[in-house]
Chain A
Amino acid sequence: MSAAAAAFVEATVRTATPLALAALGEVVVERAGVMNISLEGVILGGAFGALVGASHGGLFAGYAAALGCGVLLALVFGLFAIAFRADQIITGTAVTLLAVGLTGTLYRALYGTTGAALSIPTSGPRAVPWLSSVPVVGSGFFNQPSVTYTAYVAIPIVWWWMYRTHAGLALRAIGEAPAAAAAAGVRVDRVRWMAITFGGVMGGLAGATLVLAQAGTFAEGMSAGRGFIAIAIVVVGRWHPIGIALAALMFGAASALQFLLQALGLALPYQLFLALPYVLTLAALAGVAGRVQAPAWLARTDDA
Chain B
Amino acid sequence: MISAASRSRWISFGVLTGLALGVGALLRASGFAVGPALDALARGSLGSWYAIGSGTLVRATPLILTGLAVAVAFRAGVFNIGAEGQFLVGATGGTAIALTMHSAPAVLLIPAILIAGACAGAAWAWIAAVLRARFHVLEVISTIMLNFLAAYLVSYLVRGPMQEPTHIYPQTVSIANAARLPRFGGQTRLHIGFVIAVLACLATWWAIRYTAGGFRLRAVGANPHAARTAGQIDVDRVSTRAFLASGALAGLAGAIEVCGVTYALYENISPGYGYTAIAVALLARLNAAAVIATGILFGALEAGAAAMQRDAGVPSVVVSVVEAGIILALVAAQRTQIRLGATSA
Which A residues fall within an 8 A CB radius of B?
A: 37, 76, 80, 84-87, 89-91, 93-95, 97-98, 100-102, 104-106, 108-110, 113, 220, 224-225, 228-229, 231-232, 235, 269, 271-272, 274-275, 278-279, 281-282, 285-286, 288-294, 298-301
Contacts and interface: CB of A to CB of B under 8 A. Distances in A.
A45 B126 CA distance: 33
Contacts of A301: 335
Contacts, number: 169
A108 B318 CA distance: 11
B156 to A, nearest CB: 4
B317 A101 contact: yes
Contacts of B320: 97-98, 100-101, 104
B328 A85 contact: no
Contact of B324 (A95, A108, A110, A225): A95
A106 B318 CA distance: 9
A224 B331 CA distance: 26
Contacts of A275: 148-149, 152-153
A290 B318 CA distance: 42
Interface of chain B, helix or strand or loop or mixed?
helix
Contact of B141 (A98, A108, A285, A289): A285
Given A109-B315, A269-B160, A89 B140 contact: yes
Interface in B119-157: 127, 131, 134-138, 140-142, 144-146, 148-149, 152-153, 155-156
Interface stretch (B25-33, B49-57, B109-117, B188-196): B25-33
Given A272-B156, A278-B148, A300-B340, A93 B81 contact: yes
A5 to B, nearest CB: 28
B79 interface: yes
Nearest to B32: A109
A91 B160 CA distance: 38
B324 A80 contact: no
B17 interface: no
B26 A105 contact: yes
Given A93-B81, A104-B317, A290-B345, A225 B148 contact: yes
B207 interface: no
A97 B327 contact: yes
Interface of B: 8, 11, 26, 29-32, 79, 81, 127, 131, 134-138, 140-142, 144-146, 148-149, 152-153, 155-156, 159-160, 275, 278, 282, 314-315, 317-325, 327-328, 331-332, 335-336, 338, 340, 343-345
B236 to A, nearest CB: 14
B318 A86 contact: no
B77 to A, nearest CB: 11
B345 A288 contact: yes
A232 B315 CA distance: 32
B95 to A, nearest CB: 17
Interface of chain A, helix or strand or loop or mixed?
helix
A269 B161 CA distance: 11
Contacts of A290: 135-136, 345
A275 B152 CA distance: 6
Give 3 nearest A-B pairs by CB, closest first.
Answer: A101-B320, A109-B30, A98-B324
Nearest to B130: A286
Nearest to B26: A105
A87 B148 contact: no
A106 B26 contact: yes
A80 B144 contact: no
Nearest to B19: A98
A286 B345 contact: no
A93 B344 contact: no
Residue of A95, A106, A220 contacting most chain B CB atoms (<10 Å) = A106
B223 to A, nearest CB: 12
A228 B141 contact: yes
Contacts of A105: 26, 30, 314-315, 317-318, 321
Residue of B8, B32, B336, B338 contacting most chain A CB atoms (<10 Å) = B336
A93 B135 CA distance: 23
Contacts of A90: 278, 282, 327, 331, 336, 338
Given A84-B11, A293-B345, A228 B26 contact: no
Contacts of B137: 282, 285-286, 289
A66 to B, nearest CB: 20
Nearest to B319: A101
Contacts of B336: 86-87, 90
Residue of B146, B282, B314, B345 contacting most chain A CB atoms (<10 Å) = B345
